[in-house]
């Protein structure tokens, strides 16, 4: 006897990086709508929209910004310590 699959469950489809890049390129460079690209590729418009939002956010944030943020955090902590030591010595 075979187990029945739930009616509302679909198996998740995994997409590789090249597929994602091509789908995003069609929207950003070719000017196609997300709806049209999603239908042509046979995927969810919501998922494609999420990919595009993430890609645009990553493009707006420079690649080395994480290192700069870490350095700024370290320097702020160092400054706070120096100010505290200065206030103690007053």
Torsion, CA 54, CA 58, CA 59, CA 64, rounded to 10: 180
Backbone angles phi, psi at 19, to 5 degrees: -65, -45
The domain total for the chain is 1
8 belongs to a structural domain: no
How far apart CA 52 and CA 22 sit, in angstroms, is 11
pTM, to two decimals: 0.58
Q: pLDDT-based confidence at 1, cuts 50/70/90?
A: very low
Closest CA to 15 of 57, 43, 52, 56: 43
Compute the average pLDDT of residues 10-28.
90
- Asked if residue 34 belongs to a domain, the reply is yes
Q: Report if residue 50 sits inside a domain.
A: yes
Is the pLDDT at 85 greater than 90? The verdict is yes
Which residue would you say has higher pLDDT here, 81 or 65? 81
Do the domain assignments include residue 7?
Answer: no
Asked whether residue 1 is domain-assigned, the answer is no
81 inside domain: yes
The DSSP 8-state label assigned to residue 61 in this structure reads: S
Do residues 75 and 50 touch, judged by C-beta distance below 8 A?
no
| Residue 42 placed within a domain | yes
């Amino acid at each position: 006897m075979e187990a029945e699959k739930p009616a509302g469950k679909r198996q998740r489809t995994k997409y590789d990086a090249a597929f994602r890049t091509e789908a995003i390129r069609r929207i950003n460079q070719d000017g196609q709508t997300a709806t049209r690209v999603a239908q042509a590729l046979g995927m969810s418009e919501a998922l494609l929209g999420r990919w595009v939002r993430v890609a645009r956010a990553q493009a707006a944030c420079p690649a080395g910004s994480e290192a700069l943020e870490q350095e700024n955090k370290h320097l702020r902590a160092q400054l706070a310590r120096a100010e505290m030591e200065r206030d103690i010595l007053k």
